Structure 1
């Protein structure tokens, strides 16, 4: 129903117009204003389709009122009526694109014809607007469908220059609804309307768009940032409403937050992938599987520590820690059904990458093939088999390396670098690698060309030199810092290595004298 505002300072005139509009049975919502000022207030407050105004009124005349009305609603229909056939007023009325200029007293038939014409024009405009909106809506849906299927934003901008794609920035979350039957082919028009009414009710006033992907799938695009717990509750409510009303089972997949239009394809692939879990959890209708805070906090931290310990075990050729970390990780997930399989696949793909990187013969193509296999496994035991095969190869590689003299020397050197501040001797180092002092001494000389004591001295002297150049520490303190208890012995050893005493070495390298005690 259209709304008409009659503005005239004469009550009788307003009553006549109202009487005639009722008499001719125009379906109009009629409101009145006794002057231009009141009319402006109503125009600002109400949605007015037709302004029927006298030209001469107190406070604000009809021409100025019409100008104000046009600024508020450019599509408003203007009809002037006046007791004066004034060319000046007529000219102004025409400049405002008034529909008609009626002289008082109003001729009933002329009024009927004018109002009928106005209503016909508005209905025609509405039909055209609806058609235009329908065309734009179709193109927007087509554009969105292509975006979901991987067409880039830049390509879409070039192909649809007449569509402002800023509307894509409004989308912040997605819910993919998939049903066991072709629901959208089966529903009657009235049932489809009911379904969307129920969805709208569950949204609780939240603005959203939707896209029919196929008879089985509907995509909801929410236009507001929303917490995961809240959107899961909304999805639950929608599912329960549909299941209760139509008796149809389905699966709903919820995306992470969409930061920008460029993320929409990625988020869509993500929610499609979540739905693959329905083969593992047929009784569950909401995806991804909710894992709770344990996965989000403790599990993630634990897993990072496991991966780090496995990397360290490979680096330091520690077969015991290597076995323990991998076996513990498998035990953790072997019977765990509260964790999203997406996360599990991701975690063990990372583990596989760490293992393959340790094996020179494993090229990138082999790694990619095995990672792809992990993402197509239908059960965790299959992932375990893939990892177990590579784990055996890594373990064999580490065991060979563990027995080699080079590995023994690597451990000894590492221990010296980490503990040179402490008391070090051939006997202490031999105990650390479970070898006799004599055998260790021979192997060390064979591999490095230098004796162990000489190597220890070199490490300590290099550290002392660095402290003299880069710090203002006292020589006495540096002596202790690099593992010497006797200052005289330290100074003599330093002079043997660098040809200068520590103090003169510092001075020659641009450092100020050390402070006196």
Structure 2
């Protein structure tokens, strides 16, 4: 119901107006009665009625005085002026104040109903204009916000720029196809907080612009939003959050950060919230693994069917790309080229091996949605190639040669008889006996001999310290290295080094 306030200094008129028509049937309820001009003005301020019926001539303040004052105070109340005088001068003053509705006393019911109908029609027309203006302003605001994201500075909505100027702003992208119910919820909540949040649709994504909010407000809003989304079927929504900016023109920079975060998310697909500041300050860029060295090592791992080290090399490569800050297009291209180079290297040594077609492989790489799925694809393909190269367990005579070859290549790694036996699909006890029979040495003794031999080569150079050499040849414990070296050479590594250098200089 709309509120009606009656203002007249004559009690009989007051009572008459209360009952002249059934007000509730016309959508009004009488909220109060003003007994004179000043009393009426105060009650208008208190009740803020939709419609006021007031006498034009009252002691203290006239109806025209009241309307003039309320216009200064930006009241949008509708008025019906009551007068006992059909005066042109009054009518002229009322028209100057934008008041078109006045009735002569005594009030005729049909005339009052007619005026109420005109007022209702005015409201309908005013509402249409307000809706059109609101729609225009909304479109203009949306265009301006998108233009700011694109770095445009011309023909922007000045009121919006003034609203944003000098305030802290933070942009958030919502990644994922929202259910209709979640989309409606989001629009409703943004409309409720329009001074603090703007919704921007750009490049097929919804973006939230938080305005002058505390970090707690944004955190709570996003937490609530994600909870609602999950409950309504959007469990995998990802949020990309740009750094805080302090002027609307910097939204272009914030949007660039959002696009960079998309590349980060390609590499960190397990994360559902990505902050730009987190990745730029905490993610240390790794040095790229040596391609030639890695290719040779990986080739041997594939040849020996060494699943553990195949996965290790691929994991190291994945870690490099996770910290690289490269675009997903560049990552996919580099990984495709890396694989092709490795495949060609394998093909050169095994002409009969069936390697996946390059075009097929390129399509497989490009169809993956994140870095993790690409790396898993690569691991699976390398294991498949390894199985075809390995072709089952070697024969008894050949297995010892393969084990010796493996030791000479991987002496510097943490290897054991058990691990090598598993690698070649042999029982460790049986392989140990076979190795002793063929070489005359136990597996561990042979491994130590190779390591000591390699250490002696390194000791001939002054490039490394003794402690460094112990690690380079596979000893994690320097004391253990000293003990074994002395056992085999009857002198310490340092003594051996000094002796060799003396021999060179003499």
Alignment of 1:55-74 (within 5 A): 55-73=56-74
Deviations 1:388-420 (A, max 9, x none): xxxxxxxxxxxxxxxxxxxxxxxxxxxxxxxxx
Shift of 1:259: 0.9
Secondary structure in structure 2 of the residue aligned to 1:58: coil
Structure 2 counterpart of 1:176:
173
Q: Which residue of 2 aligns with 1:112?
A: 113
Counterpart contact for 1:250–1:285, Cα < 8 Å = yes
Give the TM-score normalised by structure 1. 0.50
Alignment match, 1:213: 202
Number of equivalenced pairs = 303
Report which structure shows greater RCO (CA 8 Å, sep ≥6): 2
Report the counterpart of residue 19 of structure 1 in structure 2.
Answer: 19
CA distance in 2, matches of 1:177, 1:84: 66
Q: Which of residues 180, 192, 195 in structure 2 aligns to 1:187?
A: 180
Deviations 1:412-468 (Å, cap 9, x if unpaired)? xxxxxxxxxxxxxxxxxxxxxxxxxxxxxxxxxxxxxxxxxxxxxxxxxxxxxxxxx
What CA distance in whole angstroms lies between the structure 1 residues aligned with 2:20 and 2:243? 60
- Give the structure-2-normalised TM-score: 0.51
Distance (whole Å) between structure 2 residues aligned to residue 8 and residue 41 of structure 1: 14
Q: Distance in 2 between matches of 1:5 and 1:256?
A: 53
After superposition, residues 119-130 of structure 1 pair within 5 angstroms as 119-130=120-131
DSSP-derived class of the 1:5 partner? strand
Aligned mates of 2:208, 2:29 — CA distance in 1: 36
Task: Report if the CA contact (8 A) 2:164-2:211 is conserved.
Answer: no
Once residues 231 and 89 of structure 2 are traced to their aligned partners in structure 1, the CA distance between those partners, rounded to angstroms, is 67
- Provide the residue aligned with 2:6 in structure 1: 6
Deviations 1:105-140 (A, max 9, x none): 111110000111011112101101211221221122
CA distance in 1 between partners of 2:253 and 2:66 (Å): 53
Contact 1:174 1:222 in 2 (8 A): yes
Closer, same or farther in 2 for the Cα pair 1:11/1:223, shift >3 Å?
farther
Q: In structure 2, which of residues 247, 258, 268 is the aligned counterpart of residue 271 of structure 1?
A: 258
Structure 1 residues 291 and 144: alpha-carbon distance in aligned structure 2, compared to 1, 3 A threshold: closer
Residue of structure 1 in register with 2:155 after alignment: 156
Match of 1:166 in 2: 162
Q: 1:145/1:7 Cα in 2 relative to 1: closer, same or farther (>3 Å)?
A: same
Give the direction of change, closer, same or farther, for the CA distance of 1:29–1:263 in structure 2 (3 Å limit): farther
Q: 1:327-350: CA deviations, max 9, x gaps? A: xxxxxxx8999x9967x749xxxx
Contact residue 44 and residue 72 of structure 1 kept, 8 A: no
> Which SS does the other structure have where 1:257 is aligned?
coil
8 Å contact kept, 1:171–1:221: no
User: Are 1:196 and 2:187 an aligned pair?
Assistant: yes
Deviation digits for residues 71-105 of structure 1, max 9, x if unmatched? 12264333210233444433322332212221111
Cα 1:109–1:211 shift into 2, 3 Å: same
C-alpha contact (below 8 Å) 1:198/1:238 kept by paired residues: no
Distance 1:171 1:253 in 2: 18
Question: CA-atom RMSD, angstroms?
Answer: 4.1
Question: Could you tell me how far 1:21 is from its partner in structure 2?
Answer: 5.0
2:84–2:106 contact (8 Å) kept in structure 1 = yes
Distance 2:146 2:103 in 1: 53
How has the CA–CA distance of structure 1 residues 81 and 378 changed in structure 2, closer, same or farther, with 3 Å as cutoff? same
Specify every segment of 5 or more residues in structure 1 that has no aligned partner in the other structure, as ranges.
Answer: 304-333, 347-376, 383-517
Do the aligned partners of 1:24 and 1:112 also contact (CA within 8 Å) in 2? no
**Cα pair 1:176 1:219 within 8 Å, conserved:** yes
Does the Cα contact within 8 Å between 2:51 and 2:78 map onto a contact in 1?
yes
Residues 175 and 255, structure 1, Cα contact 8 Å, conserved in 2: yes
Distance in 2 separating the partners of 1:46 and 1:73: 15
Distance 1:258 1:197, change over 3 A: same
Matches within 5 A, 1:105-504: 105-151=106-152, 153=153, 155-157=154-156, 165-169=161-165, 172-179=169-176, 181=177, 183=178, 187=180, 192-197=183-188, 207-213=196-202, 215=204, 217-227=205-215, 230-288=217-275, 345=325
Q: In 1, Cα distance between the equivalents of 2:318 and 2:220? A: 25
In 2, the alpha carbon distance for the partners of 1:43 and 1:110 equals 24
Unaligned stretches of 5+ in structure 2? 285-315, 327-369, 376-506
Q: 1:239 to 1:100 in 2, by over 3 A?
A: same
Shift of 1:5: 2.7
Note closer, same or farther for the CA distance 1:144–1:99 as it changes in structure 2 (3 Å cut): same
2:365 corresponds to which residue?
none
